[in-house]
Amino acid sequence: MTDPNYTHMAFLLDASGSMASIKSDVEGGFDAFIADQRTQPGRCTVTLADFSGPGDYVVRYTGKDVAEVEPLSLHPRGMTALLDSIGRLITETGQFLAAMPEDQRPGLVIVGIMTDGLENSSQEWTHAGIKALIETQEQTYKWVFHYLGANQDAIEVGAGIGVRADASLTYAPAAAGSAMEAYSASLTSMRGAVARGEDVESARHGSAYTAAQRRKATKS
């Protein structure tokens, strides 16, 4: 039995060169997200990784208590090996959780992916492979995935990698902070529902992005 009062949040952040123009917005939005999650009841740990081109994947921290997460400092560079980076984050997060005794594992595992561009340089993973991996994690282990994408139709792109439409959010680059605000609200809703005894699937239904959040996230 997992711990319903424990949430693990794994976040994958695009650090390709195109993110330079919204660096401060992303940093501020992420920091506000962490500050918001600190105020929520229950235990919460965070894993953060960022990426650019092939082989450039950096784990900033793994399983850090949300109270100890430092302000984000993003260093944009390179291309966008999105698929390889998603594959690695999922694989390594699974290994991190598998090392815990079952009764100490989180009752809620949420994986967030934020990018401002499309896949252009992965060498190990395909869209089909990532879609199968995400669907397995959701169906077998009840993980929850969110996809935040700028300069694209995030619902369409998210569907191509197995992320549900209600958990995919298109954002304007200048509204990165609003996208993170909506993401945080969704996580807060899910954390509270699971802590109250709802199963993860039920908790998802009350945490879908609203029309108002979607409009706000696309205002440049």
Q: 220 by DSSP, 3-state: which? A: coil
pLDDT band at 211 (very low <50, low <70, confident <90, very high): very high
Q: Which pLDDT value is given to residue 144?
A: 98
Give mean pLDDT, residues 174-200.
Answer: 97
In the beta sheet, which residues pair with residue 145?
111
Separation between Cα atoms, residue 167 and residue 185, nearest integer Å = 12
Residue 110 has a pLDDT of: 98
What tokens were used for 165? 């439409």
Beta bridge pairs of residue 119: none
The bridge status of strand 43-51 relative to strand 57-65 is: antiparallel
Indicate if the pLDDT at residue 148 is higher than 80.
Answer: yes
Mean pLDDT within 130-159: 97
Residue 111 near residue 146 (C-beta atoms within 8 A): yes
The answer, yes or no, to whether residue 1 has pLDDT greater than 90, is: no
Q: For residue 200, which amino acid is it?
A: V
Give the pLDDT confidence of 8-40 residue by residue, as tens digits: 999 999 999 999 999 999 999 999 999 999 999
How many DSSP H helices and E strands does the chain contain? 7, 6
Mean pLDDT of the chain: 97
Is a pLDDT exceeding 90 seen at residue 209? yes
pLDDT at 126: 97
Report the C-alpha gap between 137 and 21 in whole angstroms: 33
**Of 218, 111, 213, the residue nearest 162 (C-alpha):** 111
Which residues 6+ apart lie within 8 Å of 82 measured at CB?
A: 14, 51, 113, 115, 118, 119, 122
User: Percentage of the chain surpassing pLDDT 70?
Assistant: 100
- Structure letter (DSSP) for residue 101: -
User: What are 42-98's pLDDT values in tens digits?
Assistant: 999 999 999 999 999 999 999 999 999 999 999 999 999 999 999 999 999 999 999
Percent of the chain with pLDDT over 90: 99
Q: Quick one: 101 exposed, middle or buried, by C-beta within 10 A (0-12, 13-18, 19+)?
A: exposed
Burial class of residue 31 (count of CB atoms within 10 Å of its CB; 0-12, 13-18, 19+) = middle
Strand partners, 114: 13, 148
pLDDT of res. 8: 98
